[in-house]
Amino acid sequence: MKKILILGGGFSGIYTAKNLQKQNLDGFEIELISDNNYFIFQPLLPEVASGTIYSSDAVTPIRQMLKGIKYRNAEISGIDFKNKKVSILQGFKKSTHFIDYDHLIIALGQVSNLDIVKGLKDHAFTMRSLQDAYDLRNHILGCLELADVTSNKDLKKRLLNIVVIGGGFSGVETIGEIKEMIDRLIPYYSSIKKSDLKFHIVEFADQLLPDMDKKVGQYTLKKFKKNNINVHLKTALEEVTQYQVFLSDKKNIATHTVISTIGSTVSKLIKDCNLSLQHGKIITKGSLEVEGLDNVWAVGDAALIPNKDKKNMLYKKKKIAYAPPNAQFAVRQGKLLAKNIKAKILGDNLSDFHYTSKGSLASLGSRDGVGKIFFITVKGFVAWLIWRAFYLSFLPSFATKIRVLTGWIVEFLVPRNAVMTRALKNDAVAYQNFKKGDVVFKEGMIADGFYIVTKGSFKNTFTKTSSGKKFTKFYKVNDHFGARVLLSGSRRTGTIEALEDSKVVKIDRDTFKVMNKHFIPIKDYFTNYIKDNFKKLD
Amino acid sequence: MKKILILGGGFSGIYTAKNLQKQNLDGFEIELISDNNYFIFQPLLPEVASGTIYSSDAVTPIRQMLKGIKYRNAEISGIDFKNKKVSILQGFKKSTHFIDYDHLIIALGQVSNLDIVKGLKDHAFTMRSLQDAYDLRNHILGCLELADVTSNKDLKKRLLNIVVIGGGFSGVETIGEIKEMIDRLIPYYSSIKKSDLKFHIVEFADQLLPDMDKKVGQYTLKKFKKNNINVHLKTALEEVTQYQVFLSDKKNIATHTVISTIGSTVSKLIKDCNLSLQHGKIITKGSLEVEGLDNVWAVGDAALIPNKDKKNMLYKKKKIAYAPPNAQFAVRQGKLLAKNIKAKILGDNLSDFHYTSKGSLASLGSRDGVGKIFFITVKGFVAWLIWRAFYLSFLPSFATKIRVLTGWIVEFLVPRNAVMTRALKNDAVAYQNFKKGDVVFKEGMIADGFYIVTKGSFKNTFTKTSSGKKFTKFYKVNDHFGARVLLSGSRRTGTIEALEDSKVVKIDRDTFKVMNKHFIPIKDYFTNYIKDNFKKLD
Per residue in B431-482, pLDDT (tens digit) is: 999 999 999 998 888 888 999 999 999 999 988 777 888 889 999 999 999 9
Q: In what order do the strands lie in the sheet with B439-441?
A: B439-441, B494-498, B458-463, B470-475
Chain A residues closer than 8 Å to B421 by CB: 55-56, 59, 130-131, 134
Q: How confident is the model at residue B92 (pLDDT cuts 50, 70, 90)?
A: confident
Contact call for B419 and A56, based on CB within 8 A: yes
pLDDT digits over A512-538, tens only? 999 999 999 999 999 898 888 776 544
- Kindly tell me the burial class for residue A113, based on how many C-beta atoms sit within 10 Å of its own C-beta (0-12, 13-18, 19 or more): middle
* d(CA B460, nearest CA chain A) in Å: 18
Please choose, from the candidates B514, B512, B516, the residue with its C-alpha nearest in 3D space to the C-alpha of residue B525.
Answer: B516
ipTM of the complex: 0.84
Choose from B149, B404, B410 for mutation: most chain A CBs within 10 A.
B149
Question: Residue B433's pLDDT is what?
Answer: 94
**pTM recorded for the entire structure:** 0.88
Gap between the Cα atoms of A476 and A499, Å rounded? 10
pLDDT level of residue B179 (50, 70, 90 thresholds): very high
**Disruptive mutation site among B87, B95, B523 for chain A (greatest number of A CBs within 10 Å):** B95
B462 torsion bin: left (phi>0), alpha (psi -120 to 50), beta (else): beta
- Chain B residues within an 8 Å CB radius of A141: 37
User: Mind telling me how many Å the CA of A213 is from chain B's nearest CA?
Assistant: 37
Nearest CA in chain A to B186: A63
Which candidate, A454, A399, A446, places its Cα nearest to that of A429? Answer: A454
Question: Which candidate in B32, B37, B38 is best for mutational testing of the A interface (most A CBs within 10 A)?
Answer: B37
Q: Do B446 and A91 touch (CB under 8 A)?
A: no
Identify the pLDDT of residue A535: 61
Answer whether residue B315 shows pLDDT above 60.
no
Q: Do B398 and A414 touch (CB under 8 A)?
A: yes
pLDDT of residue B94: 76
Least confident residue range of A413-422, A451-460, A525-534, B108-117: A413-422
Confidence of residue B536 (pLDDT cuts 50, 70, 90): low
Q: Which of A30, A34, A37 to mutate to test the interface with B (most CBs of B within 10 A)?
A: A37
Mark yes or no for CB contact B452/A518 under 8 Å: yes
Total CB pairs under 8 A between chain A and B: 218
What pLDDT was estimated at residue A172?
96
Chain B residue with Cα closest to A513: B429
Would you state the pLDDT for residue A243? 94
Of the two residues A417 and A400, the one the predictor is more confident about is: A400
**A94, A146, A155: residue with CB nearest B446:** A94
Q: How far is A485 from chain B (nearest CA, A)?
A: 14
Considering only the C-alpha atoms of chain A, give the largest distance between any 2 of them, rounded to a whole number of Å: 90
What is the DSSP track for A19-84? Answer: HHHHHT-TTEEEEEEESSSEEE-GGGHHHHHTTSS-GGGSEEEHHHHSTTSEEEE-EEEEEETTTT
Query: Whole-angstrom Cα distance, residue A357 to residue A310?
Result: 11
Task: Output the pLDDT for position B327.
Answer: 87
Q: Which residues of B touch A520 (CB under 8 A)?
A: 478
Q: Which of A64, A90, A480 sits opposite B149 (nearest CB)?
A: A90
DSSP letters spanning B364-410: EETTEEEEEETTEEEEHHHHHHHHHHHHHHH-S-HHHHHHHHHHHHH
Residues from chain B contacting residue A55 (CB–CB below 8 Å): 421
Q: What is the band of A358 on the pLDDT scale with cuts at 50, 70, 90? A: confident
Residues of B in contact with A396 (CB under 8 A): none
Is-contact B172 B209, C-beta < 8 A?
Answer: yes
Flag if B417 and A56 touch (Cβ within 8 Å): yes
DSSP code per residue over A388-455:
HHHHHHH-S-HHHHHHHHHHHHHHHHSPPP----S-----SEEEEEE-TT-EEE-TTPBP-EEEEEEE
**Contact (CB<8Å) A410/B403:** yes
Q: Which domains does chain A have, with CATH numbers?
A: 2-35+74-112+264-346 (3.50.50.60), 114-262+359-413 (3.50.50.100), 429-534 (2.60.120.10)
Pairwise CA distance, residues B221 & B174, whole Å? 15
Residue A259 carries which DSSP code? E
Contact B416, B185 (CB under 8 A): yes
- DSSP code of residue A350: P
Who wins on pLDDT, B333 or A325?
B333
CB-based contact A410 B421, cutoff 8 Å: no
Closest to A364 in 3D by CA, of A130, A180, A132: A180
Asked whether the beta carbons of residue A63 and residue B189 sit closer than 8 angstroms, the reply is yes
Spell out the SS3 assignment of A126-176. CCCCHHHHHHHHHHHHHHHHHHHHCCCHHHHHHHCEEEEECCCHHHHHHHH
Looking at the DSSP bridge assignments, the partners of residue B284 are B290
On chain A, the residues whose CB falls within 8 A of the CB of B491 are 96
Taking Cα atoms as reference points, which of A369, A418, A358, A356 lies closest to residue A394?
A358
User: Using CA atoms, how far apart are residues B12 and B334, in angstroms rounded to an integer?
Assistant: 5
Q: Do B414 and A399 touch (CB under 8 A)?
A: yes
Nearest to B402 among A56, A413, A429 (CB): A413
Cβ–Cβ below 8 Å for A93 and B441: yes
pLDDT-above-70 percentage for chain B:
94
pLDDT digits 0-9 by tens, A389-409? 888 887 777 777 887 888 778
Contacts B414 to A, Cβ<8 Å:
398-399, 402-403
Task: Decide if pLDDT at B367 tops 50.
Answer: yes
CB-CB under 8 Å, A511 with B518: no
Q: Where are the alpha helices (DSSP H) in A350-394?
A: 380-394
Chain A residues in contact with B73 by the CB 8 A cut-off are 142, 145-146, 148-149, 420
Nearest beta carbon to residue A448 from set B54, B74, B93: B93
Residues of A whose CB is below 8 A from B134:
421
Cβ within 8 Å, pair A419-B38: yes
Q: Which residues of B touch A138 (CB under 8 A)?
A: none
Mean pLDDT of all residues in A498-520? 93
Which of B30, B50, B518, B526 should we substitute to test contact with A (largest number of A Cβ atoms within 10 Å)?
A: B518
- Asked if the Cβ–Cβ distance from A36 to B525 is below 8 Å, we say no
Q: What is the pLDDT of residue A538?
A: 43
Beta bridge partners of B245: B240, B253
Amino acid in the structure at residue A402: I
Paired strand residues for A110:
A266
Query: What is the arithmetic mean of pLDDT over B256-261?
Result: 96
Enumerate the H helices of A236-362 as residue ranges.
Answer: 268-271, 327-346
For B505-519, write each residue's pLDDT tens digit: 999 988 999 999 999
Helix (H) or strand (E) run with residue B522 in it: helix B520-534
How far is residue A199's CA from residue A196's CA, in Å, rounded to a whole number? Answer: 10
User: End-to-end distance of chain A based on CA atoms, in angstroms?
Assistant: 75
Helices (H), B322-361: 327-346
B456 contacts in A (CB within 8 Å)?
Answer: none
| pLDDT tens column, A190-242 | 999 999 999 999 999 999 999 898 999 999 999 999 999 999 999 999 999 99
Write out chain B residues lying below 8 Å of A514, CB-based.
429, 505, 507
| pLDDT at residue B416, rounded to an integer | 64
* B95–A505 CB contact, under 8 Å: no
The Cα of A399 is separated from the nearest Cα of chain B by a number of Å equal to: 5
Distance between A93 CA and the closest CA of chain B, angstroms:
7
pLDDT tens readout for residues B374-416 = 889 999 999 988 988 888 887 777 777 887 888 778 777 776 6
Helix (H, G, I), strand (E, B) or coil at B234: coil
CB B282 within 8 A of CB B290: yes
- Based on the number of CB atoms within 10 Å of its own CB, is A202 exposed (0-12), middle (13-18) or buried (19 or more)? buried
Q: Hey, are the CB atoms on B491 and A96 less than 8 Å from each other?
A: yes
Q: Minimal Cα distance from A399: which residue of B?
A: B414
